[in-house]
Each structure stands twice: as C-alpha cells, then as structure tokens.
Amino acid sequence: MNWLLLCRHLGLLGILVGGSMIFSLPWAFPALGQTRTFEADGFRGLLVAIAVSVGSGGILFGVGRREKGLILRKEALGIVGLGWLYAGLLGALPFLFSQTLRHEGERVVLMSVPDAIFESISGFTTTGASVLTHLESPRVEDDLALLKPEELHPNDPSRTNAPPTKLVPRCIMFWRSFTHWLGGMGIIVLFVAVLGQLGAGGKALMRREVPGPISEAVRPRVRETALTMWAIYVGLSFVLSFVYWLEGMTVFNALCHTFGTLATGGFSTWNSSLGHYGAAIQWTTILFMIFAGTNFNLYYLMLTRQHGGTRRRLLDRLQPLIRDPEYRLYLTIIAVVTLMLSASLWSHRTYDSVEAIVRHAMFSAVTVMTTTGYGTEDFDQWSNFCRALLLALMFIGGCAGSTGGGIKVVRFLLFTRILKMEIENAFRPNVVRPLRIAGVNLDPGLRHEVIVYFSFVVLIFVSSWLLLMAIEPGAPWDHAASGGNQLIDCASAVASSLNNIGPGLGAVGPSMNYAQFAPQSKLLLALLMLLGRLELFAILVLFIPSFWRTHR
C-alpha cells in the first residue's frame, strides 16, 4: 500500500467535501440577526465543520503532496473505501457542531456522535434512513420559539413536552439533503471529474465506484466520461427542480427533494415525506425516480454516439434504452409489481379512486425498487401480500450504473441465466454455452463473480440480522410493544440498510425512524449502508490485514 499516495488523495477528497458545505450556508442567512435561533447555531456549526474538514484534508494532502505515483488496484480500493468512510465522518460534523436536536420518545436530546455518523452516512450512501423527526417549519420565525439546546436540559427526565416546530436548522437540513446529491452519482466520480491529472488512476477509481458488473462508462478518456455523467446528473437536477417549483414547491423544498429524488435517497423536508404534496408532484417524482434508477451509461451512449455525422432522430437516440435487456426487465418488474399492488389495494378497498390506487401502488413500487425511500402512504399498513412484495423488491434495486442501490437488476438477469445453464448442464454435461447478454459473450469470470456476490449478500444479511438481534434484546421499541415482531423489525432494518432503501417494515416503516436503535446498532447499520453502496468489496478488503501490507 502506498500510504503517501493514499494520504494525498484522501486529503483532496476532504477539501472537496468541506468546500461543498459552503452551498448550505446561505440558507441560514434570514435568521443570522437573531443570535438565539437554531439557524445561527447551524451557521456557526457549518463554519466550524468547513474549517475542520478543509483543515484535516489539508494536513493529509500536505503529508503526501510529493507522492504522484500510479493508483493501482490496492490504492484504488483504499481511496474508495476509506474515502467514503472519511466523507461520512466529515459529513457528521455539521450535525454535531450545530447542536442539532432529535426526539427520544417524548424528550428532546442532542444528536450523539453515532446519531450524526448514521445520518451522514445515510445521506452520502443515498439510503435515506434517519434518526430525525419534526423537520417542518414553514417560516423561519417559527424557529425563534425554540429554546437553545442547553436550555432544553436534554438529560433532565422531567422534560417531556416536545416543542411544536422543527428541531433541525434550515441550513443543516439543506446539507442533509445535499449529501444525497453528492453521493448519488458518487463523490469519487466527482473527484475524478474535478481532478484531471489522475490518468490511469482515474480509470481504476471509476471501476470501483460505478456499481454493477457491466459498465460502459469506463472509457479511455476517463475524466471526459466522469464530466459527461455529472453533466447529465446536473442537467436532470436542474429540470426537476424547475418542474417542482412550477408545481408549487418553494425553491428550498424543490432543491432538497430534487437531491433526494435523483440520488434515490429519500430525505424529505416534511415528516409526511412526499405525502405532504398533491398528485401532480407525486407523479412527477415517480417519473424522475425511474430516470434515476436507469443506468446512466445509457444516457451517456444516447448523447455521445454518432451516426455518420447526421442528426439522429429521437427514435434512434432511444435505441440504447430500447435494446438494453436490463432496462426492459427493470420497467417490466415495475409494471408487474404495480399491477399486483393495485389489485391487492382494490380488493381491500384501501382507496376510493382508481387513480389513487394506481398512484400509491406505483409510487411505492418505484420508490422501493429504485431504493429512493420516499413515501406517500404508510405501506406497512397494507396487506401482508403487499408488504412481502415490497420486501422482495428491496433486494432487486435499480439498474447497474444508476444512483439506485440493491443487488441490481442485471445481476438477477445474469443469475437466472446461470441457473438455467446449470440445470441444462445436469442432462447435457458436454454442452458448453457462453454467458451472453444483449448478444454479447461475457467474460467467463463474470459467472463466478455474480455467484460470489449473491453468496456474500446472503451471508452478510443473515449474520447482521443475528448480530442486530443480539444488540437489541427484548422488545424496547414502542412499535414492538404494541404488537410488532422484533424478528421482522431487525430483518427489515438490515435489508433496508444493506440495500440503501431507508424505510422498511415494522419499527422502521415509512411512519417510523431509526432513533430507537442503540448506538451500536446505528453504527452497524451505517456500515451496512456503506457495504451496499460500494457493493461490498471496497469495504470488506479494509478488514483484511494483508491488504495493508506494503508489498504486493
């Protein structure tokens, strides 16, 4: 391991994350004249967080500034794995330095270090799981009614009345959503786009950052590819923000929900999530969640491929989407699950109109499959068939190369073909068939990689489920006390964290949050979020002693 090279690039990454916090500062300006407001505390907390982030990044860069060697496989894995951990820790600083509050039952308490790390990593990994409640406050003046954190006496058990307005400064709420946007396309991809001198190292980083077993994004001109993908991402963000604003959102809410939608994250500025808004905004969100769950490499191909120098017609430009088997399967699963959910909701007379049934069914199917985690209704109150269907969708996820999490549609496509080949091999052992997709023969090693990946997911899910059950003995949660099932609660929490979804079933359903978990549980779930976002190996290698040895 080249430690100096690792320090150099981690330092640059720390400076990039610290600099990105600047965009959250303006949202505190309306309240800066009021020194006793949470917005002023948020502003000061952000300033300190920026200073610490840039300072720590500067120190690391200073240590390795003279090292400009090649980024090889070990260094690429180290930069990606440690880079996400480092970004998660830096992202937690605004919550801590601003003394952000959260509810613990009926009491109001300061966010602890595990709380802040959980919230930050949930944001960067686009999971959307949260420990925060009481997010909304329609006017800045409402915040003036809140006491300062030290006046709330969070450790005093006699304080049981929660304040009526939000406990999160507006600038901190913006940073919370902005972490989604940074993590959606990938902070390492942004890192490659900003730094043009990485050369072959940029290609190594992109291979580790862009999820999925098949990637068209890694081209010889890696920086150009990274810039193009980020340009697509920014363009879609601008369009969605403008549409949200036209449909009635404020600029602040439009930006925050754009970050959550296109990053498939799910942080909202309202306790009721997208259920706060009407049907038009919900349909818009459905459409853009589908866009976000699509392989961004297909958008890249649509924009960059040329045909004989002539201007392509719209249908020709759509050919990469039309011909892609993963994308077709992705849309098919969404359509089939929507029909099944709609039929179940109709049979139970859950909603009055067909439009409401289809909208809520499709929104839930898309938000779970793309791992966005927004909600319009508490689907945990639906029939067991609907809940089981959505639980299965959590493991599928979006397309490879998208901002979505999960195992990815293409791996399920390949896995079913591998199983078919193994069944055929039972009665035709001498027949050797190549693994093919879209008419292309794939690398024989990919067959092994897909099977290993599925095996690791099952192993990590089961072991984490058992560990979480051991950390959380008994039934300490309100939901469990009212008839919840701790087995389901813990399994759902692990599944939603590992697949970067956020809300799950039971105690972590759409109307609940993760505040009730023990600090150790929150750190475990945060680790699962990183494992899911980086597709296991970039984090798992960090626990192998031989990975850190200097010889190769």
In this prediction, residue 335 carries a pLDDT of 96
Chain centroid offset of residue 291 CA: 15
Q: What is the pLDDT of residues 134-177, one digit of tens each?
A: 776 444 333 334 434 443 434 333 333 444 345 688 899 999 99
Q: Higher model confidence: residue 536 or residue 48?
A: 48
In this prediction, residue 102 carries a pLDDT of 82
486 pLDDT higher than 50: yes
Query: What is the mean pLDDT of the segment spanning 68-89?
Result: 84
- Most confident range (mean pLDDT) of 51-55, 135-139, 233-237, 378-382 is 51-55
* Averaged pLDDT of the chain: 81
Q: What is the pLDDT of residues 284-306, one digit of tens each?
A: 999 999 999 998 888 878 876 65
Q: CA–CA separation, 172 vs 154, rounded Å?
A: 20
In this prediction, residue 502 carries a pLDDT of 85
* Domain locations along the chain: 3-226, 442-548
Q: What is the pLDDT of residues 465-474, one digit of tens each?
A: 999 999 886 5
Here the contacts of 382-386 (C-beta below 8 Å, separation 24 or greater) are: 382/341, 382/344, 382/345, 382/348, 382/350, 383/344, 383/348, 385/344, 386/341, 386/344, 386/345
Question: For the whole model, what pTM was predicted?
Answer: 0.86
453 pLDDT higher than 60: yes
Q: Would you state the torsion angle of the CA atoms of residues 192, 197, 201, 206, taken in this order, to the nearest 10 degrees?
A: 20
481 pLDDT higher than 60: no
In this prediction, residue 202 carries a pLDDT of 55
In this prediction, residue 552 carries a pLDDT of 52
Q: What is the DSSP string of 149-216?
A: HHHH-TT-TT--PPPSS--S-HHHHHHHHHHHHHHHH-HHHHHHHH-TT-THHHHHHHHHHS-SS--S
In this prediction, residue 144 carries a pLDDT of 37
Confidence of residue 201 (pLDDT cuts 50, 70, 90): low
Residue length, the chain?
Answer: 552
Confidence of residue 53 (pLDDT cuts 50, 70, 90): very high
Query: What is the mean pLDDT of the segment spanning 36-63?
Result: 88
Query: What is the mean pLDDT of the segment spanning 488-510?
Result: 87
In this prediction, residue 215 carries a pLDDT of 47
Check if the beta carbon of residue 79 is closer than 8 Å to that of residue 186. Answer: no
Q: Higher model confidence: residue 36 or residue 135?
A: 135
